[in-house]
Amino acid sequence: MISSRVLCIVCPLGCQIEVKEKDGKLSFHGGCARGKSYAKQEVTYPCRMVTTTVSIRGGEIPRLPVRTSRPFPKDRILALMEFLRSFEVEAPVKRGEVLFRNLLGTGIDLIATRTIHRLEKEGEDSREA
Amino acid sequence: MKTYDVAIAGGGVVGCAVAWYLAHFSLDVLLLEKREDVCCGVSKANTGILHSRSYVTPGTLKGELHLRSLSWFSQAFQELGLKPLRCGALTLAFSKEEAQHLKVLQEQGKIEGASILSPKEVLALEPRLNPKVYAGYFDPETMVISPFAVTIALAECAALNGVTMHFEKEVVFVEASWDHLLIHCASGERYAAKFFVNCAGIGAPQLAQNIGDVIPPLCFFRGQYFVLDRECQGFVSHVLYPVPTEESKGILVSPTPEGNILLGPNFEPVSYENTATTIQGLEEVEKGARKLVPEIPLDKVIATFSGVRPALPKRDFYVAFSLRLPSVLHLAGIESPGLTACFGIAEYVGELLGKRGLPLREKKNFQSRVPPLVFRECSLEERERLIAEDPDWGKIVCRCEEVTLAEVKRALRSSPPARTLDGLKRRTRVFAGRCQGGFCGMHLPGILERECGLSSSDIRKSGPGSFYVLRKGEVAPDAKVC
Amino acid sequence: MPKFVEAEVVVIGGGPAGMAAALSAWEYGMRKIFLLERNAHLGGILNQCIHPGFGLHIFGEELTGPEYAERYMEALGRTGVEVLTDTTVLEVHKDRAVVAVNRGGIWIFHPQAVVFAMGCRERTRGMIRLPGTRPAGIFTAGCAQYLVNVEGYLPGKRVVILGSGDIGLIMARRLTLEGVKVEAVVEIRPTLSGLLRNYVQCLQDFHIPLLLSHTVFEVLGQERVEGVLVGEVDAKGKPKGRLRHIPCDTLLLSVGLIPEVELLKRAGIPLCSSSGGPFVDEDFACDVPGFFACGNVVAVFDLVDYVTRSAERVGKRISEGLRDEKPPLILVPGKGVAAIVPQRIRERREGFLYVRPKESLRKAKLSLVQQGRELYHVSVPLCRPGEMIHLEISQIPWPKERKEVEVVLEGEKHVDLFSGALYCMSSGMSD
Ligand SMILES: Cc1cc2nc3c(=O)[nH]c(=O)nc-3n(C[C@H](O)[C@H](O)[C@H](O)COP(=O)(O)OP(=O)(O)OC[C@H]3O[C@@H](n4cnc5c(N)ncnc54)[C@H](O)[C@@H]3O)c2cc1C
Ligand SMILES: Cc1cc2nc3c(=O)[nH]c(=O)nc-3n(C[C@H](O)[C@H](O)[C@H](O)COP(=O)(O)OP(=O)(O)OC[C@H]3O[C@@H](n4cnc5c(N)ncnc54)[C@H](O)[C@@H]3O)c2cc1C
Ligand code: SF4
C-alpha cells in the first residue's frame, strides 16, 4: 500500500488530504468533496498553467509574455521551458494569438498574453499634450 | 615612452587633490588608480564634515595641514564648483566635566561668532536635542560636503587642466632608471616620471615596502553609519558632535547637502579593511545618536554603510620622501580629517616636490570646473529650456532623486567618466534615494543598453566581479520538478 | 516657459487603479481627463506580473497581469481620455496644480480633481537594516521580476530569497523555470506570508526549501554576493543557535510593500499610519476636497480586483463637483486589525470595507463597535494577514451618532500548517 499527502489549495482552509492506494484503487482521507477531487487530480495527473516569456524580434520590448492554453502536465514543464528557450517570434503580436500549436505533442497551445507592436522609427513619442 | 613630471598613485581625495594642485602649474601629471574610478577607497565612505579650527589637533602635521587647508577653502570651492552646506556645528556636553572640554574647543578655534551656550540656548537652536544637555559649544565655521562631490570635482578639474588618468592600474613597484623613475603596474604597463607621489591610502605602506621603504603598519578603525531619508531634512540643522575622545570625534548626527541626515560613525578596531556593517555596530550608532537626539526617526533609515580609517599608531599623517629613491614621496595614515585637509596636503606635497627641484611655473590658462547642472535643483523655467535643447532632460530615470537621462549620459561622457553603477551613483545620485535602486535599478540596465550603447556585461556595480545582471542563456538549467 | 493645461481630471499613474479611475470619470461625463504615466506603457506593475491569478472577482476568469491590463487599455482607447506616457509627475500642490515632465517639456495642469494612483514600492535592505557588505546582487523581488519578465535579464545563478510574500514565492518559481538555482526562501516569522497556493505551486513543486522562523543575519561578498549567513530566530527576533552559510550570488528581498505617498505629502494630504496611505472615504476621496486616491497608494491590496473596484468609485463623486461635505463617520482599527480602508464613511450606501487582520485566526468574529456598543458583526471561519476581509458597506447598520467606530477581530489563534520552526522540505509533504 502506498500513501501520500496532498495539501489542498482549493480554498483557504488548506486541508491535508491523505491519499492511499491499494490494489490500484485510490482512497482519500480528510478534506471535503472538492478537495478530494483536487487530490485525485494531483496524484494521478498533476498539471500547471505555465507562464513565461519568449524572445520577440522587432518589438517595442524585448520579451513577449506567454501562457499555455490549458494547464500543462507538471512532469513535462521543464522540457517545455527547454523548448521555449530557443523559441522566437516576430513583432507585431496580438494578445490571445496562438503562437505554437500542440506543444510537445500534448495538444496544448502557446498563447501570447500581451500585444506588442512593431518598434516604430525614431522620433515618435508622446511629445504633445 | 613619455616622461611625466609627476606620477601619482591613488585616486582618493588626497591623490586627486595633489593632481588638481599640480595642474595649476606647467607640468605633465599622471594619476594611476587601482580601481575603475576615482573615489573608490576611504574617500567614498566618511562623514563629509569640513572640520573647523576648533578641531585642529595642535602640534601635529595633521593639524598643520588641516589649518592650511582651511585657508584654501574659498578659492578651491570656487575653482571646483562646489557648494558646501554652511550649517555650523554644536558640540554637546552632558556633564560638568564634559563642559570643560568645550572651553578647550573654543580656545583652540578662536572662531569669530563661536560661543558656549546654556542648555536653553542650545535647545533654542536645536529643539529636538536631548533636554539633558548640560552645555553646548556653537561653532559657525563647520561645514558639510558630499565626499564624492569633492573627490570627483578635484578629478574633473585636474583632467580639464591636462592631468592624464589611467584606471585599473595598480602600482606595484617603482625603480630608478637613468634620470627618471620607472613605474610598474600589476597589469604589466610601465610609465616614466621624474617624481612619484604615493597617495595609495590603505595600499600606501605596501607600496612603500615594495620600493624598499619602511612605514609602520596601519591600524584599521571601522565606522558605521545610518542614512536617513531626505524627508527628514530639517530634523536637525547643525552638525551635532558629542565631546570628542582621545580616539575619535564620536558618533555625530549631521545634515548633508543633499538633505539626508547621517548618523555615525562608531569607532571599532578591525583586523583588515572590512567594510561590512554589523548588528552590534549599528546598535552602537543608534545609541550614540539617540544620546544627542532621542527622537531621531530611525524608521526613516534608507541605507547603512561603513568606512575604515587607515591610521598609523601615532595617529598622525605621515608625509616623507623615500630613503631609497629621493624623488618618491610617501603619504600614509591620512585618516580624519583627511577630507578637510586635502587642499593643505596637496599644497604641502607641491612645496616638498618644489624643494627637490620640481619646477612650479603657474599656468596662465587654468580653467575652473563648471559643475554639471542638476535637474532637481533647476527652476521650472530652466528645466523647460534644458528639455527644449535636449529631450533627455525630460526623461526621469531615478524617481527618488529626480535624476534625468541627460545627467546619466553626461556622467558617462565626463572625464574621468563613470564606468560603473557606483560611479553613476556618486556623480548623479541614481541608486542613492529612498528606494535604493528599486526603480532605477530596474530601468537603468535597459536604458544603458539601448540608449547609451553599453552591453549587459559592461554593466557592473563596481569592480570586475560585480556584474549586475546576466542575459538569459548565460545560466545552465539544473532544476527538477517533483 | 512651462506649459499650462486646463483639465477637469488628472489621474497620476497608469496602473490598474489609474486606468479604472480615468474610465470611471469618463463614464460619469467628465471630458478633459489626463492620465499621466511615467513608464513607456500603461499597466503599472501588471506588466511584470506575467503569472496567472488576476481578475477572478471582476471577470470571473483567471488572467495574467498583462491580459488584465490590456482589457482596460482597450477600454481607454475607446474614450477620449488623453494618455501621456513617459511622463513623470514631479509635484502636486495644495491648489491642485500638477507639475509633470516629459520629453516635450514641463506641463502644469490645473484640474478640478486630482486622482493619485501611483501604486506602491518595495521595502529595501536599508529599511530592514540587513547587515553585512554591500556587493552587487541584492535586489528587491519586484525589481528582479521586472528585469526578468520585461527586460529578459537574470539577476544571478544561485539565489536566496528573504521573505515569503507572494512576490518572493512567485519569483522562486519564475527563476527556477529559467534555470536559476533557488537555494531557499527564508522567512523571519513562524508562518508563511503568501498564499498557500503559491507555496504549493512555487516552492513545493520544485523542492525549494522554506525556512520559517529564520532570517539572513549577514550578507557576504565584496564585489558580488558570495553567500548569506542564515539562522533561526526566537520569538523576539533574536538569533538562536548556529548560523548557517548558504553560498549564493544573489539575494532577493520580498519584505513588504509601502504606498508611494511622496506626492501626497507635498500636497499636504493627511496620511494614515496603519495603512501607510491617505485617509479616504468609501468613494476614495481624501480628507482634502478635490483629491482622490485609489489602488495601492491607499493601502497595499492583495488583489488587483480590489484595486480596480476602489478606482471605479471615484468617477461619480468627481462628477458631483466640489461640494460641502458633512463630517464623516470615522473608523479606526481596533484589536486584531492591522489596517482598514476606508477610514471614513459618508454616504453609507455603497462600496466595500476592507480589513487587514493582524494575525491568523480561526472561528473569528469581526465586529464594529461604537463606544463599547457592538453595531454589527460577522463570523469569519479563517483569516490570515495575507488576505483582506471585505464587507459590503450597505450591509452594515451605520449609527446616526458620529462617534468613532472601532473595527475589531477576535478569534482563536490559528496555527497554520507551517507554524513552528520547521525546515520544510517539500519532498516530505508530497512524496
Ligand atoms: C569613518 C570615517 C569618517 C571620516 N570622516 C571624515 C570627516 O568627516 N571629515 C574629514 O575631513 N575626513 C574624514 N575622514 C577621513 C577621510 O575620509 C580620509 O582621510 C580620506 O578619504 C583619505 O583619502 P585618501 O585619498 O588618502 O584615501 P583613499 O580614498 O583610500 O584613496 C586611496 C586610493 O588609492 C588607490 N590605491 C591603493 N593602492 C594603490 C596602488 N598600489 N596603485 C594605485 N592606486 C592604489 C585606492 O584604490 C584608492 O582609490 C573619515 C574617514 C573615515 C574612515
Ligand atoms: C510584484 C507584485 C505581484 C502581484 N501579484 C498579484 C497577483 O498575483 N494577483 C493579484 O490579484 N494581484 C497581485 N498583485 C497586486 C496588484 O497587481 C496590485 O495591487 C495592482 O497592480 C496595483 O495597482 P495600482 O494601479 O494601484 O498600482 P501600479 O500597478 O503599481 O501602478 C502605479 C502606476 O503609477 C505610475 N506612477 C507612479 N508614480 C508616478 C508619477 N510620479 N508620475 C507618473 N506616473 C507614476 C507607475 O509607473 C505605475 O505605472 C501584485 C502586486 C505586485 C507588486
Ligand atoms: S479540502 Fe475542501 S475545505 Fe479543505 S482546503 Fe480543500 S477545498 Fe477547502
How far is Cα A66 from Cα B89, in angstroms, rounded to an integer?
60
B15 in any annotated domain = yes
B53 in any annotated domain = no
Query: Is the CB of A81 less than 8 angstroms away from the CB of B477?
Result: yes
Q: Are residues B116 and B236 in the same domain?
A: yes
Tens-digit pLDDT profile for residues B210-226: 999 999 889 999 999 99
Other CB atoms within 10 Å distance of the CB of residue C327: 8
> Grid coordinates representing C74?
482597450
Inter-residue contact C62 to C115 (CB < 8 Å) = no
B476 in any annotated domain = no
> Ligand 2 center to residue A63 CA distance, Å?
20
What's the rounded mean pLDDT across residues A95-117?
Answer: 97
AA letter at C321 = G
Interfacial B residues in 379-398 facing A (CB < 8 Å): 391
Same fold, C3-121+257-324 and C124-255: yes
Contacts of C136 in chain B (CB under 8 A): 421, 460-462, 466-468
Query: Is the CA virtual torsion A39, A42, A47, A53 positive or negative?
Result: positive
How far is Cα B372 from Cα B404, in angstroms, rounded to an integer?
12
Instruction: Looking at the complex, report in whole angstroms how far the Cα of residue B231 sits from the nearest Cα belonging to chain C.
Output: 9
* Below-70 pLDDT ranges, chain C: 324, 416-431
Residue B307's pLDDT is 96
Ligand 3 within 6 A of CB of A29? no
Phi and psi torsions of B386, nearest 5°: -60, -45
C151 CB near a chain A CB, below 8 Å?
Answer: yes
Q: How many domains does chain B have?
A: 3
How far is Cα B334 from Cα B203, in angstroms, rounded to an integer?
12
In chain A, where are the structural domains located?
2-44, 51-112
Q: Could you give the residue ranges of the DSSP H alpha helices within C28-149?
A: 65-77, 141-149
Query: Is the CB of A126 less than 8 angstroms away from the CB of C104?
Result: yes
Contacts of C47 in chain A (CB under 8 A): 114
How far is Cα B386 from Cα B393, in angstroms, rounded to an integer?
6
B52 in any annotated domain = no
Residue among B465, B249, C428, C287 at smallest CA distance from A7:
C428
DSSP annotation of C81? P
Quick one: C124-255 is in which CATH superfamily? FAD/NAD(P)-binding domain (3.50.50.60)
Contacts of C64 in chain A (CB under 8 A): 51, 65, 67, 113
Inter-residue contact C117 to C18 (CB < 8 Å) = yes
The residue range of the domain holding B429 is: 378-458
Q: Are residues B293 and B224 in the same domain?
A: yes
Contacts of C426 in chain B (CB under 8 A): 482
Q: Are residues B413 and B430 in the same domain?
A: yes
> Grid coordinates representing A51?
507562464
Tens-digit pLDDT profile for residues A97-107: 999 999 999 99
Residue C418's pLDDT is 52
User: In DSSP terms, which residues pair with B318 in a beta bridge?
Assistant: B332
Quick one: C3-121+257-324 is in which CATH superfamily? FAD/NAD(P)-binding domain (3.50.50.60)
> Grid coordinates representing A89?
517570434
B362 in any annotated domain = no
C226 CB near a chain A CB, below 8 Å?
Answer: no
The minimal CB distance from C151 to the residues A3, A51, A62 is found for A62
Q: Are residues B137 and B152 in the same domain?
A: no
AA letter at C305 = D
Q: What is the DSSP string of B286-310?
A: HHHHHHH-TT--GGGEEEEEEEEEE
Interfacial A residues in 55-74 facing B (CB < 8 Å): 74
Residue among B406, B420, B422, B407 at smallest CA distance from B454:
B420
ipTM of the complex model? 0.93
CA angle C63, C69, C75 (to 5 degrees): 115
In chain C, where are the structural domains located?
3-121+257-324, 124-255, 332-413
Q: What residue in C sits closest to A80 (Cα-Cα)?
A: C177
Residue C386's pLDDT is 84
Query: Is the CB of A53 less than 8 angstroms away from the CB of C50?
Result: yes
pTM: 0.94
Interfacial C residues in 68-97 facing A (CB < 8 Å): 70, 82-87
Cβ neighbors of A40 (< 8 A, separation 6 or more) are: A19, A26, A28
Q: What residue in B sits closest to A60 (Cα-Cα)?
A: B450
Q: Are residues B268 and B298 in the same domain?
A: yes
User: In DSSP terms, which residues pair with C389 in a beta bridge?
Assistant: C355
B465 CB near a chain A CB, below 8 Å?
Answer: no
Query: Is the CB of C204 less than 8 angstroms away from the CB of B482?
Result: yes
Q: Are residues B174 and B270 in the same domain?
A: no
B264 in any annotated domain = yes
How far is Cα C292 from Cα A33, in angstroms, rounded to an integer?
45
Check: CATH 1.10.10 for C332-413? no
B101 is catalytic: no
Residue A22's pLDDT is 87
Q: Could you give the residue ranges of the DSSP H alpha helices within B236-323?
A: 279-292
Phi and psi torsions of C127, nearest 5°: -70, -30
CATH tag for A51-112 (out of 3.20.20.210, 3.90.550.10, 3.10.530.10, 3.30.565.10):
3.10.530.10
> Ligand 2 center to residue C197 CA distance, Å?
21
Residue C427's pLDDT is 31
| Chain mean pLDDT for chain C | 92
Q: Are residues B335 and B435 in the same domain?
A: no
Residue A124's pLDDT is 46
User: In DSSP terms, which residues pair with B308 in a beta bridge?
Assistant: B222
More confident position, B245 or A74: A74
The minimal CB distance from B305 to the residues C134, C155, C219 is found for C134
Render each residue's pLDDT in chain B as its tens digit; 482 residues: 899 999 999 999 999 999 999 999 999 999 999 999 999 999 999 999 999 999 999 999 999 999 999 999 999 999 999 999 999 999 999 999 999 999 999 999 999 999 999 999 999 999 999 999 999 999 999 999 999 999 999 999 999 999 999 999 999 999 999 899 999 999 999 999 999 999 999 999 999 999 999 998 899 999 999 999 999 999 999 999 999 988 889 999 999 999 999 999 999 999 999 999 999 999 999 999 999 999 999 999 999 999 999 999 999 999 999 999 999 999 999 999 999 999 999 999 999 999 999 999 999 999 999 999 999 999 999 999 999 999 999 999 999 999 999 999 999 999 999 999 999 999 999 999 988 888 999 999 999 998 888 988 889 999 999 999 998 766 544 444 44
Inter-residue contact B424 to C116 (CB < 8 Å) = no
B477 in any annotated domain = no
Other CB atoms within 10 Å distance of the CB of residue C382: 18
